[in-house]
Amino acid sequence: MTQHQQTIGARIEFNGVGVHGGAAVSIVLHPAEPDTGVVFHLFEPSGFVREIRAVSANVSSTDLATVVGDVQGVHVSTVEHLMAALYAMDVDNVIIEVEGGEVPIMDGCASRFVEGMIEAGLVKQRASRRMIRVLKPVTVEMQGARGQYLPYDGSRFEIEIDFATPAIGRQMLSLDLTPQTFRREVARARTFGFMKDVERLWASGHALGSSLENSVVIGDDDRVINPGGLRYEDEFVRHKALDAIGDQALAGARILGCYRSYRGGHRLNAMALGALLSDRSAYEIVEVPLAPARSSRAASLAVAAASALGPQVL
């Protein structure tokens, strides 16, 4: 088990397009001091605008993407893939400069964020981690969908989806989260959508930056139309797991427990996390004793599954 909080070893920059706004956006990740957590610094051409902590209390929208900040004002959209990468790769403390109000979609998944962290390396810090241990089942339901937290000795995700289209159907994925399982099983799974929904999404101001380069698209004939096909046979459920990991990362600390969902999405994930954190009898805060600090580079990213993402604000 990794006892120390961690930050990135160097500055990391990502440039791309916002999948919903369609505009050019950029983010820069900076190493941060212990107990900083994950913090967004929003910039406009005139300069710094606002700081937003990446915690569930600051989530303002879960409509097709997870948004932190004031959805009608200053905010950061589509944070889930970046948050999943930080959480899974055990980055506790980082400051993220954002220009454009949205995290770039890159190729529709978390793999490029992971690659950047591996290149920069991780640095162990002289501060112990705190974690949220699930003590009893907590369940939420919404229109036939269900999200549930269960006690578990580790960080586990059990995700099931069920779509009417033959291109997807019913798929299940279960995994214990570690940097290795995330990179191998989840990180490359892309966001997906249906061609029949494109005009409606465009009219509502969503998916303006979506393309076959960053999304798996299902055509009117219920087939994947991307020239390269799927990266995994069950890429759809793997992406839903990626989203669930990113949404859980907004707890502000690694959750020791199992998150199980059926037909879930960002809204259900947020509801389940909110239900857990609002019930003080459902969890406890545990702290891992410190061991001597040391630095680690990309080759030393084999860290424990039950590590935290930073201090939880409860």
Bind-site residues for Zn(2+): 81, 239, 243
Do residues 104 and 113 make contact, with C-beta atoms less than 8 angstroms apart? no
- Identify the sign of the CA torsion 287, 288, 294, 300: negative
The 3-state DSSP class for residue 111 equals: helix
| Residues tagged in the binding site annotation | 81, 239, 243
Q: Residue 91: name the closest of 62, 121, 70, 64 by CA.
A: 121
**Burial environment of residue 126 by CB neighbours within 10 A (0 to 12, 13 to 18, 19 or more):** exposed
In the chain, what is the straight-line distance between the N-terminal and C-terminal CA atoms, in Å?
A: 24
Q: Residue 248: name the closest of 159, 163, 161 by CA.
A: 159
Catalytic choice (4, 41, 206, 266): 266
Which H helix or E strand runs over 274?
Answer: helix 266-278
Distances (CA, A) of 116 to 4, 72, 110, 170, 241: 21, 31, 10, 33, 21
Distance CA 303, CA 89 (A): 8
Catalytic annotation present for 266 = yes
Active site residues per annotation = 266
